[in-house]
Structure 1
Amino acid sequence: MSFRFAIPSKGSLYDDTLAFFESCGLKITRPNPRRYTAGIRALPDVEVLLHRAPDIIEKVASGEIDMGVSGLDLVEEMRGDRDDLLVLYDDLGFGGAELVVAVPEAWIDVSSWHDLADLAVELHAEGRPLRIATKYPALVRRFCYANGITYFRLVDSQGSTEAAPGLGYADMVADITSTGTTLRDNQLKIVGGSLLRSQACLVGSRRSLRDNPARLNIVRTVLELVEARRRGRNYVQVTANIAGESAEDVGRRVASRPEFAGMQGPTVAPVYSGSGAGWFTVTLFVPQSRVMALVDHLRALGGGALAVVPAHYVFDAQCEAYQRLLAALHER
């Protein structure tokens, strides 16, 4: 059995995908840069295919590909009513961007979506629609109708969307941006909030995975590692030596502050020092944001020789993403 796993073929999404899966212990090896196939040594039954991000969505939805990496913006734009396209993991931690609407900076009276609706009415009275350049017609059409913008025309733009108003073939744009720099460089300003927050995600094919234990087992392995890696990035392991009468005494004092008690409480073990003194090693897993507060807490208890190391993986009792997948596969 060959399991087909597609990743973006170029650009920052390709580079970030390789780096992320390598950090998960799933290094993708490409024989040479001209090949559009690759492999994963840890998963010998997996064939990695390199495709354009939009093509990945289409092929996963049709069942030609079992699993793939793409942007959530493309998933929401292209999914429609195709329930064979499943989002297995919605945030891989890279490729972040927002879908926004932007108008020329010269439009000083337009600062909200309500203003755009009024402008669309005014232009309609003059005999023409508000022209919006975008490569996200489904999402933008949904946004317009939801915000009372009924008189508009979508202008298809698959490249250099930000230049459309300056070139005269659109009045405004709706496009994806991560920093807003390109919009500003083209004398455009963002109006209102984001239509969609997007990032790289993992998608799978319902028709390919349903009732196929071998393929599901591969997906489970990938989801376990991805979820544990993403969770691990937020945690650190803190180890300290603390003097006390017993392991119970030290554990009780450390856990007196519940926010510093770790995931399920501290692990306490005796330290062999040869002097007979009562020293114990305390090990905790805590969110990275609480490191300094925990260090101060352990120091107040007499802790010394504190060490902090990142948690590469943090596995839970079960993989939440895989459990959601199993539930989704049996929805119909």
Structure 2
Amino acid sequence: MTLRFAIPSKGSLYDGTIAFLESAGLRVSRPNPRRYTASIRALPGADVLLHRPTDIVEKVAAGEIDLGISGLDLVEELHGDRDDLIVLFDDLGYGAAELVVAVPETWIDVTSWHDLADLAVELHSQGRLLRIATKYPSLTRRFCYANGINYFRLVESQGATEAAPGLGYADIIVDITETGVTLRDNQLKIVGDPILRTQACLIASRRCLRANPAALEATRTVLELVEARRRARRFVQVTANIAGESAEDVGRRVAARPDLAGVQGPTIALVWPSTPRAVGVSGWYMVTLLVPQERVLDLAAHLRRLGGDTIAVMPAQYVFDSTCSSYERLIALLEEQT
């Protein structure tokens, strides 16, 4: 076994993880949906384990799993001061949600965290504490103390947290939301900015990767593919045929707009004619550029003005840099004294 790699076992985080890994060339093979082990052909010898997202964080922190994917909210809630858990990517691009404070809609005078702090003081003067239902006690406690909410009691909630104020066993809640619809359905409103913006993240065990060179090398494969895939999301590859006297002539005209000349400039190649050209007739050249997605229409207009024809746009699958910066960061973290 070269690597113990844990991914979520079910739900939207499982679906997002499977789709993301496949897009990065790390297709998960799970012949039986009831099995909690799988494999990835690009990681020979690796064990792919399917666990609950909370268990993944705990097992990585405890050194029982080398690498895992979970939610950043769970990492922030559960890792505590355990330095063996390190975050390799905190934004894989799916599973986005926000940890928010929500109060009853009828509390029209409560519109900010400062209002909550004042309310907590008022309730304390009446002999009781502000009751907060949450599945995130550590994050909630840190949030309260950081914002002057000093008189409160946490009410543990393992399900349907948004129902707590309506049922009377809490005053407000701190919970994860994707759209806010469930909160509104339960007559709650969000107060203040999100405590935390979360999405799927990639985590690793410092202790395990230090002790197992094979696991570290397999992790490098994962980081190379994931980093290149994430970078590729920002770019498209554009090709066009442009007539010109020479490759230099076409290149100069394309590069006259440096903002549309590609990451490192255009690549120019002679198009072999399907029929012999007459003497004195310009040749055709294929221009290839890698540009940010948001510039594709501007680039198409620029190429048209140059007489461009057959303009094709293709999504980039991978964009590798000269080095894998995430792997270099990992090595630096492993070399730190803890």
Shorter-chain TM-score bucket reads over 0.9
SS state at 2:262 partner: coil
Counterpart of 2:100 in 1: which secondary structure? strand
Compare 156-165 and 1-10 and name the one that shifted more. Answer: 1-10
Q: For residue 166 of structure 2, what is the amino acid of its counterpart?
A: G
Number of residue pairs matched by the alignment:
332
**1:83 maps to which residue?**
83
The secondary structure found in structure 1 opposite 2:193 is: strand
CA distance in 1, matches of 2:182, 2:166: 13
Q: Which amino acid aligns with 1:16?
A: G
What's the CA shift string for 1:167-186, capped at 9, x where partnerless? 11100000011100110010
Supply the distance in 2 between the matched residues of 1:167 and 1:224 (Cα, whole angstroms).
49
Q: CA deviation at 1:211?
A: 4.5
Instruction: For residue 44 of structure 1, report the CA deviation from its aligned partner.
Output: 1.8
Gaps of 5+ in 2: none
Distance 1:14 1:108 in 2: 39
Alignment pair present for 1:297 and 2:302:
yes
Structure 1 residue 278: deviation in Å? 2.1
Aligned partners of 2:198, 2:120: CA distance in 1, in Å? 27
TM-score, scaled to structure 1: 0.98
Sequence identity, in percent?
Answer: 73
Offset of 1:85 from its aligned partner? 0.2
Q: CA deviation digits over 1:95-148, x for unaligned, max 9?
A: 000000000000000000010011001000000011000011111111111111
* Aligned residue number for residue 47 of structure 2: 47
2:299 is equivalent to residue 315 of structure 1: no
Question: What is the TM-score normalised by the length of structure 2?
Answer: 0.96
State the distance in 1 between where 2:312 and 2:99 align: 42
Which residue number in structure 1 is paired with residue 163 of structure 2? 163
1:210 partner SS: helix
- Per-residue CA deviations over 1:237-266 (Å, capped at 9, x if unaligned) read 100111222211211211111111111111
Partners of 1:259 and 1:215 lie apart in 2 by 42
CA distance in 1, matches of 2:85, 2:50: 19
2:113: which partner in 1? Answer: 113
C-alpha distance in 1 between matches for 2:131 and 2:249:
71
Indicate the SS of the match to 2:322: coil
Trace 1:170-209 onto structure 2 (pairs within 5 A): 170-209=170-209
Once residues 113 and 261 of structure 2 are traced to their aligned partners in structure 1, the CA distance between those partners, rounded to angstroms, is 47
Q: Say what the alpha-carbon RMSD is for the aligned residues.
A: 1.0
Structure 1, unpaired ranges of 5+: none
Q: Which amino acid aligns with 2:215?
A: R
* Cα distance in structure 2, aligned partners of 1:135 and 1:255: 55
Secondary structure in structure 2 of the residue aligned to 1:142: helix
Matches within 5 A, 1:101-250: 101-250=101-250
Counterpart-to-counterpart distance in 1, 2:6 and 2:222: 13
Where do 4+ consecutive residues of structure 1 move more than 2 Å?
Answer: none
In structure 1, C-alpha distance between the alignment counterparts of 2:158 and 2:329, rounded to whole Å = 34
Partner secondary structure for residue 240 of structure 2 = strand
Write the distance in 2 (CA, Å) between the matches of 1:292 and 1:2.
Answer: 46
Instruction: Give CA-to-partner distance per residue, 1:64-114, whole Å, 9 cap, x none.
Output: 000001000000111111110011111111100000000000000000001
